[in-house]
Homo-oligomer: A and B are copies of this chain.
Amino acid sequence: MKDAIKIGLAGAGTVGGGVIKILAKEIGFFRNKLQLPLELTKIATLDPQRLKDFPTGKAEILSDGLEIASAPDIDIVIELIGGTTAAKEIVLKAIENEKHVITANKKLIAEHGPEIFAAADKKNVSVYFEAAVGGGMPTIKTARESLIGNNTMSFYGIINGTCNYILTKMTEEGSNFNETLKNAQKLGYAEADPTLDIDGGDTGHKIAIMASLLFDGFVDYNKMQIEGIRNITCDDIKFAKELGYKIKLLGIAKKRAHDKSIDIRVNPVMLPENHILANVRDVFNAALFTGDAVGDIMLYGKGAGELPTASAVISDIVDVARNIISDNSKRIPMRTYSRENEITLKTSKEITSRFYLRFSVKDKPGVIGIIATTLGNHNVSISSIDQSERHDDDFVPIIFTTDEANEQDIKNAVAEIEKNSFIKATTQFIRIEDN
């Protein structure tokens, strides 16, 4: 047996701190029960003071993650710095030096995954990134291992805790977006700069990774349709409720049989209130996979936080260490993807869905007729209309839901309707996912 499997940790922030704590606590279990002699050998951090209360044992504290990537005695490099500059440099340097790599960096994997995987392939080392999607839930492992015998039909993910928290509070307390965001920031559930969460970018990175793995090709994050929750109003949530729906921000990847392009995007959507994802509340995450063999499988859990995320990093460490210890310096072949094999995304012209449309109009005779006729002219068939007795200033909201319609047709119809002078504000449209 190898005397020690030496781990270098680059980045000792929230998740890094959790990794240090769990390793210290479980090191005896790993050594005695699993025969894995793990050792936290080096830690790189810009803030060594922060580590003084952590059980870092005999680990050498450095300031530069690149030193860890180049240290001859390190077997596994854990990148928890974040971002795509230094992190990418460390990961590629570690691979070049034939070290296995573990990262929690969704942005890095989403944007530079193919380059990293290709480098790892050449050097025969593993890249693990369970913590990149869904925190402590085994989201990546399920895609790469458990569902390997399935052709994926769809993946729906509530994979941003901040957005789910805000939408839950807006739904249950009737508060508006800005007020709820401020509270979430006070409670530490939203960042000071919440852009990446609120506007869907974080969900976008995660769905790009999941779709790339599940559909065995590269999904270019920059080409995806990404829409956040900033424009969701209390009214929308109220009308959704009246119609029997809840609004959730979903990362969606779905393929119809025989289609060459895949519908991959981030959108707030309306889900029937008895849909299993509709009842995932607060900061919880959930990932619903549909495979041709397994049917529906859902994972549910905390998608963020010090220890849940560290739990995922630890499972990666043990996976890699199991591989090292079984006298095998070689990479275990894993489901991966390359840039050459880019997945074609469905465009608005190809995407169909049911839609919720909220028009803000000045009430006068004929308005509903004009809207309905214009929708019809664009091949949009109406499923329901609701104009309640309800007046905010001069505005009357009129709610249409449609049958399955082409997204581009909806956009064209709305653009034409908005030319009418009775339209008083931008029209809201939200997809309804009820099939």
Contacts and interface: CB of A to CB of B under 8 A. Distances in A.
Interface of A: 18, 22, 26, 29, 33-36, 130, 136-138, 141-142, 145-150, 216, 276, 279, 291-302, 305, 307-308, 310-312, 314-315, 318-319, 322-323, 325-328, 330-335
A335 B333 CA distance: 21
Contacts of A296: 300-302
A295 B299 contact: no
Contacts of A36: 333
Contacts of A310: 149, 293
A293 B22 CA distance: 8
A220 B371 CA distance: 69
A34 B295 contact: no
A164 to B, nearest CB: 15
A145 B136 contact: no
State the oligomeric state as a number of copies: 2
A142 B305 CA distance: 19
Contacts of A216: 29, 33
A35 B124 CA distance: 14
Contacts of A294: 136, 301-302, 307-308, 311-312
Nearest to A289: B301
A166 B322 CA distance: 42
A136 B216 CA distance: 21
Contact of A335 (B33, B137, B325): B33
A322 B328 CA distance: 12
A136 B314 contact: no
Given A149-B26, A298-B300, A301-B294, A326 B318 contact: no
Nearest to A134: B297
Contacts of A276: 300
Contacts of A279: 279
Given A298-B300, A300-B297, A35 B333 contact: yes
Indicate the member of A26, A136, A276 with the most B CB atoms within 10 Å.
A136
Contact of A328 (B312, B326, B334): B326
Nearest to A314: B149
Given A149-B310, A294-B301, A314-B148, A330 B319 contact: no
A153 to B, nearest CB: 13
Nearest to A313: B149
B34 A315 contact: no
Contacts of A312: 146, 294
A419 to B, nearest CB: 46
Contacts of A308: 293-295
Contacts of A295: 136, 301-302, 305, 307-308
Nearest to A126: B326
Indicate the member of A33, A305, A335 with the most B CB atoms within 10 Å.
A33
B293 A147 contact: no
Contact of A330 (B130, B137, B150, B327): B327
A34 B293 contact: no
Given A138-B138, A146-B138, A293 B307 contact: yes
A293 B311 contact: yes
A35 to B, nearest CB: 5
A145 B291 CA distance: 22
